[in-house]
Structure 1
């Protein structure tokens, strides 16, 4: 009876044992990140983020709002269908029964890029009116990484209060401020730098942007 409960000490391991033979090593679980795109300006940031995550072999779960689709078509040469194709899984923003809406869904975090002030306000108030705000709410309650790439300027005291409040709840506010110290030759370089810094927050290195190494003496 004791051997039945604990598993035999010889021969094959029981099904509950995490140990596997050298012929069948345990493969590390693929990391998962939820990406949400709202209608704020800066759609290219979300697109470039998805491309980088795909290159890094990160499993992506994408939610695109109605106005994000409009912004993608207006600001970029991409069509929303092309953007969806960059993700491993895509959910309708109104599908409140999607896997990512539950705390039982395991993920390494979520990034809202770009994040509109409407979405920020919904997250701050806990008003889960759609799948983006609901999934962000899940990240906060489960103490998982939540990064909000806030796109607005100038900022009102309402915006600032919302940012402070969600930051106190555990979110990271990431305004995509350009790094002029890299002496960018194009907007593309500024985008790559912002995306790289966003993914730094998830301990992911795109290796596609210049980091600060002190003053270069020439």
Structure 2
């Protein structure tokens, strides 16, 4: 899965961050630009990856528990503000990259657990019966990478709307009281690897089919949620195995 193996932070970014965080890094980059020691494209790349280094520290401080706890940390917000003051048109791209990177950080902190769904199981999980199953369902580990077989029939659209077979799912469970599964679906397209993140709320007291039905207007993701829930149910997780 690309988001689990890619290296989104270049060594130069970490070197500038080590000078003392956002302000010190940005001041040093500004001096290098002014002196002609750094080309603008290199400076832009470093500045736009500084928020990811800040996110690493924010995620660790918040124990990788909840995405928005990390994103609301002052150090991350400051780094993002500096990056957007430099390249304001990249707000959506930087936010999407930060969410994906937090999922990776949470997965790494939870123990890098993986599970390959067999092709025969993948073919039937989309029809998993969810009625009457309570929200007691938990991931076997707090974060889990699922290898998705082609038989699953899960698809992801590229920027042109063409559909491609999904290959991977990364799941991260945020704890109660507002329990949420954050699901990253990835596919190999003609444009390269592409990923999309959807969130599934699991309110206390609801059966799984009722939890899925809560997401009015998001019907296109219901097959993904049903398949993913079915995959986790099929693993028969034991509470003692949670990371």
TM-score, structure 2 as length reference: 0.26
The structure in which a higher percent of residues are helix is: 2
Greater Rg, structure 1 or structure 2?
A: 1
The structure in which a higher percent of residues are strand is: 2
TM-score, structure 1 as length reference: 0.28
